[in-house]
């Protein structure tokens, strides 16, 4: 398993507003400035409406037209950048393709330079990575929610992306599956070290997985603070990480930031 | 235990006969009785048809043969048409008119539908015409088509085409338009070109809608074909129907009508075969009703 390089993202003075009736505008994001280093795992955490998904989509090139700039490795983002993997909230698999077929879609960008066997090989490898080898020939409707998300993850990873973007990937799953997938993702992330931007409203999830957590507030969407998660790596156990003294401190701190009840007495 | 007769089963019997109770037995129903009921249920359509044929035959025997021909006479008429060489060409021309007209409608309809589904501009430009023709009783346009196309194959194909195409356009456009944004996003993130977004995302998603449209359009095309064979030219199956109708030869009339039904059934079966072969993941429910 080769460790992938990672993109470096610079977000500067970025905002987003939607026009509404009667000349008023809904400001979804305001003046976001942020740098994400190569190989970092950064979570965007906040309540609904804080613009975290919008920001993610802007980084991915899916939502253009905004003031400010977003650059990846020095290049301003225009359209979808190269070698991006995106995991959607509800897997978004193509129902008429098998699991293998869906994962292969992730290779579309580089399809021309691979033979069919090579493609099949890489797809198999990534399916094994997410634990779906036995389900390669099934259709999405035959899979559980957790399995569909794993397939979505495999699709995002198959092209060896420089940048991994995940939009509340475990949000639609039941609690047990969610916990399990968090630990599996932590393991994968440990091995691959791709730059990852992870959107969630679950503070614990963010603390467990991330190097840094961006706590966002809503109305308008802004960055309230960026917290260093200095828990030891590798993060193999949720228990150990989240219930350590430092873990509890971080969770409390970030939760208060997100809820807007932060006071200066809690050090970070 | 095995020698006990099963005409009345108690729960105790069942429990001692096997360790696992089937739901039928647990409910106190005799399995043999249940099987007989199932066979009866399956046979009902055939029983119903046989009863109907019987009643028809009896009624037909006691009624003016011009009003109603019996099944037996209709069958004889059918055989006569077949062997005298009238049915073959009529059947052939019906299939040809239907095939060409419907085929053209499918090709043009799907293309226009995709265009309208993907392009707001195209949709706004073409909508007035689609809505107009969808609302019009298209048969009223047959005389106009005769003026334009004459009374030959082209005209009959034009009528069939005209009746079929609107359902195809509407259902295709709806299916393409309803492609979930998430799937389009997937395509964009993984660098599908605009053409690929249509051919590899929107179109596969739209297939069930398109097929619903194809099924409805086939029914309309069939009507168009028969009307064309009656009004545009008096030829083929439509011609047989009109002529025998005018001559009050009811048995032959009915035989020709059933042949038209046969054409419809064969075409529908072909469509179904195509669907299962090319799009095995789809089901048969109709999602749109125009």
Cβ neighbourhood burial of B273 (10 Å; 0-12, 13-18, 19+): exposed
Task: Kindly state the tokens that stand for B229.
Answer: 């064979």
Residue A254 near residue A229, CB atoms below 8 Å: no
At residue B230 the predicted structure's pLDDT band, cuts being 50, 70 and 90, is: very high
Q: Which residues of B touch A61 (CB under 8 A)?
A: 188-189
The predicted pLDDT at position A262 comes to: 63
**Crossing angle of helices B142-149 and B153-177, rounded to 10°:** 120
Closest C-alpha to B233, from B150, B173, B168: B150
Segment B155-159 shows an average pLDDT of 96
Encode pLDDT of A166-206 as tens digits.
999 998 888 999 999 999 999 988 888 899 999 999 999 99
Residue-level pLDDT at A10: 87
Neighbouring residues of B179: CB distance < 8 A, sequence distance ≥ 6: B117, B201, B202, B205, B206
Full 3-state SS string of B69-126: CCHHHHHHHHHHHHHCCCHHHHHHHHHHHHHHHHHHHHHHHHHHHHHHHHCHHHHHHH
Of B6 and B262, the structure prediction assigns the larger pLDDT to B262
Residue whose token pair is 């107009």: B132
Output the furthest CA–CA distance in chain B (Å, rounded). 83
Question: What distance lies between CA B130 and its chain's CA centroid?
Answer: 23
Chain B: residue nearest A156 by CA? B190
Residue B29 neighbours by CB under 8 Å, 6+ apart: none
| C-alpha torsion angle, residues A90, A94, A100, A104 (rounded to 10) | -100
- For A69-121, give the secondary structure using H, E and C: EEEECCEECCCCCCCEEEECCCCCCCCCCCHHHHHHHCCHHHHHHCCHHHHHH
Q: Which residues of A touch B210 (CB under 8 A)?
A: none
Contact B189, A60 (CB under 8 A): yes
Q: Residue A5: which of A42, A35, A38 has the closest Cα?
A: A38
CB A127 within 8 A of CB A100: yes
- Is the separation of the CB atoms in B191 and A62 below 8 Å? no
Q: Is the pLDDT of residue B286 over 60?
A: no
Within 10 Å of residue B28's Cβ, how many Cβ atoms?
11
CA B81/CA B52 separation, integer angstroms? 24
Residue from B179, B184, B187, B191 whose CB has the most chain A CBs within 10 Å, to mutate: B191
Q: In the prediction, which pLDDT does A51 show?
A: 87
pLDDT of residue B64: 85
Largest CA distance in chain A: 59
Nearest CA distance, B194 vs chain A (angstrom):
13
Beta strand A163-167 pairing with A84-87 = parallel
Contact criterion met (CB below 8 Å) for B16 and B4: no
pLDDT digits over B100-132, tens only?
999 999 999 999 999 999 999 999 999 999 999
- Residue contact A94–B281, C-beta within 8 A: no
- Supply B201's token pair: 């995302």
Q: Which residues of B touch A88 (CB under 8 A)?
A: 182, 185-186
Using 50, 70 and 90 to split pLDDT, how confident is the model at B285?
low
| pLDDT recorded at residue A110 | 80
Structure-model confidence comparison of residues B84 and A65, the more confident one? B84
Among candidates A60, A90, A96 on the partner chain, residue whose Cβ is nearest the Cβ of B189: A60
What was the ipTM of the complex prediction? 0.86
- Residues B182-187: what's their mean pLDDT? 93
Distance CA B98, CA B90 (A): 12
The confidence band for B32, taking pLDDT boundaries of 50, 70 and 90, is: confident
CB spacing of B190 vs A109 below 8 angstroms: yes
The shortest C-alpha distance from B99 to chain A (Å) reads 29
Residue B234 to residue B211: CA distance in whole angstroms: 32
Q: Could you tell me if A119 lies within 8 Å of chain B, comparing CB atoms?
A: no
Contact A68, A12 (CB under 8 A): yes
When pLDDT is averaged across residues B68-74 and rounded to a whole number, the result is: 91
Q: State how far residue B272 is from chain A, nearest Cα, in angstroms.
A: 18
In this complex, is the C-beta atom of A112 within 8 Å of any C-beta atom belonging to chain B?
no
- Residue holding tokens 């309803």? B178
Which is it for strands A222-228 and A212-217: parallel, antiparallel or unpaired? Answer: antiparallel
- Lookup: tokens for A108: 């579309």
CB-based contact B186 A94, cutoff 8 Å: yes
**Domains defined along chain B, listed by start:** 80-278 (1.10.3720.10)
Sheet holding A41-45, edge to edge: A84-87, A163-167, A195-200, A41-45, A212-217, A222-228
In whole angstroms, give the CA distance from residue A221 to residue A216: 7
Q: Return the number of CB contacts < 8 Å for A and B.
A: 45
Place of tokens 């064979």: B229
**Contact residues on chain B for A108, CB-CB shorter than 8 A:** 190-192, 196
Chain A residues with beta carbon closer than 8 angstroms to that of B190: 105-106, 108-109, 155, 159
pLDDT above 90 covers a percentage of chain B that reads 69
Q: For A3-18, how does the pLDDT look when each residue is reduced to its tens digit (9 = 90+)? A: 456 788 888 888 888 8
What is the side-by-side order of every strand in the sheet holding A25-36?
Answer: A25-36, A9-19, A69-72, A75-76
pLDDT of residue B17: 52
Q: Which of A58, A82, A92 best tests the B interface by mutation, with the highest count of B CBs <10 A?
A: A92
CA-wise closest residue to B167 among B40, B290, B253, B13: B290
What is the reported pLDDT for B277?
87
Helix or strand (DSSP H, E) at A31: strand A25-36
Identify the residue whose tokens are 């589904």: B117
| Cα angle, residue B114 at apex, residues B110 and B118 outer, rounded to 5° | 175
Is the confidence at residue B38, as pLDDT, over 60?
yes
Question: Is omega for the bond preceding A234 within 30 degrees of 0, making it cis?
Answer: yes
**CATH code of the domain made up of A1-70+193-262:** 3.40.50.300
| Cis upstream peptide for A220 (omega within 30°) | yes
Counting as low any pLDDT under 50, the low residues of chain A are 1-3, 265-268
In percent, the amount of chain B with pLDDT more than 70 equals: 89
B284: confidence class by pLDDT, cuts 50, 70, 90 = low
Contact A62 B189 (CB under 8 A): yes
Q: What is the nearest CA distance from A154 to chain B, expressed in angstroms?
A: 13
């Amino acid at each position: 398993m080769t460790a992938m390089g990672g993109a470096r993202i610079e977000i500067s003075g970025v905002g987003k507003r939607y026009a509404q009736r009667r000349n008023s505008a809904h400001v979804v994001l305001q003046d976001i400035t942020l740098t994400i280093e190569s190989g970092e795992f950064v979570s965007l955490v906040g309540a609904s409406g804080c613009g975290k998904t919008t920001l993610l989509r802007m980084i991915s090139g899916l939502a253009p037209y905004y003031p400010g700039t977003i650059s990846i490795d020095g290049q301003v983002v225009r359209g979808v950048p190269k070698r991006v993997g995106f995991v959607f909230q509800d897997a978004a698999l193509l129902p008429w393709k098998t699991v293998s077929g869906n994962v292969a879609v992730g290779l579309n960008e580089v399809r021309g330079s691979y033979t069919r066997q090579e493609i099949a090989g890489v797809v198999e490898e990534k399916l094994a990575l997410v634990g779906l080898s036995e389900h390669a020939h099934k259709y999405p409707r035959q899979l559980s929610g957790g399995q569909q998300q794993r397939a979505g993850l495999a699709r995002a990873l198959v092209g060896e992306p420089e940048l991994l973007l995940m939009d509340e990937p475990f949000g639609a799953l039941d609690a047990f599956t969610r916990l399990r997938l968090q630990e599996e993702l932590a393991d994968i992330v440990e091995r691959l070290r791709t730059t990852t931007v992870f959107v969630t409203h679950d503070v614990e999830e963010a603390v467990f997985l991330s190097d840094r957590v961006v706590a966002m507030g809503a109305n308008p969407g802004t960055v309230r603070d960026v917290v260093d998660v200095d828990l030891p790596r590798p993060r193999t156990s949720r228990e150990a990480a989240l219930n350590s003294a430092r873990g509890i401190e971080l969770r409390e701190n970030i939760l208060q930031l997100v809820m807007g009840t932060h006071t200066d007495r809690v050090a970070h | 235990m095995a020698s006990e007769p099963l005409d009345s089963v108690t729960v105790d019997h069942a429990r001692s006969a096997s360790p696992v109770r089937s739901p039928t037995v647990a409910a106190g129903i005799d399995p043999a009785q249940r099987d007989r009921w199932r066979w009866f249920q399956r046979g009902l359509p055939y029983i119903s048809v046989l009863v109907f044929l019987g009643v028809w035959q009896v009624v037909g025997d006691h009624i003016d043969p011009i009003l109603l021909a019996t099944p037996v006479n209709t069958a004889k008429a059918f055989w006569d048409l077949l062997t005298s060489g009238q049915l073959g060409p009529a059947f052939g021309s019906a299939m040809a008119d239907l095939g060409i007209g419907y085929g053209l409608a499918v090709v043009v309809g799907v293309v226009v539908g995709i265009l309208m589904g993907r392009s707001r501009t195209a949709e706004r430009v073409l909508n007035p015409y689609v809505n107009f023709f969808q609302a019009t009783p298209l048969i009223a346009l047959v005389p106009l088509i005769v003026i334009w196309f004459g009374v030959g194959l082209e005209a009959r194909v034009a009528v069939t085409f005209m009746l079929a195409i609107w359902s195809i356009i509407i259902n295709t456009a709806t299916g393409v338009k309803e492609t979930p944004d998430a799937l389009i996003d997937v395509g964009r993130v993984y660098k599908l070109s605009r053409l690929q977004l249509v051919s590899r995302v929107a179109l596969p998603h739209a297939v069930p809608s398109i097929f619903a449209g194809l099924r409805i359009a086939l029914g309309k095309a069939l009507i168009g074909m028969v009307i064309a064979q009656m009004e545009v030219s008096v030829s083929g199956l439509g011609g047989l129907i009109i002529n025998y109708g005018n001559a009050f030869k009811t048995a032959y009339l009915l035989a020709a009508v059933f042949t038209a039904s046969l054409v419809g059934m064969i075409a529908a079966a072909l469509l179904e075969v195509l669907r299962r072969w090319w799009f095995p993941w789809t089901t048969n429910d109709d999602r749109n009703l125009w």
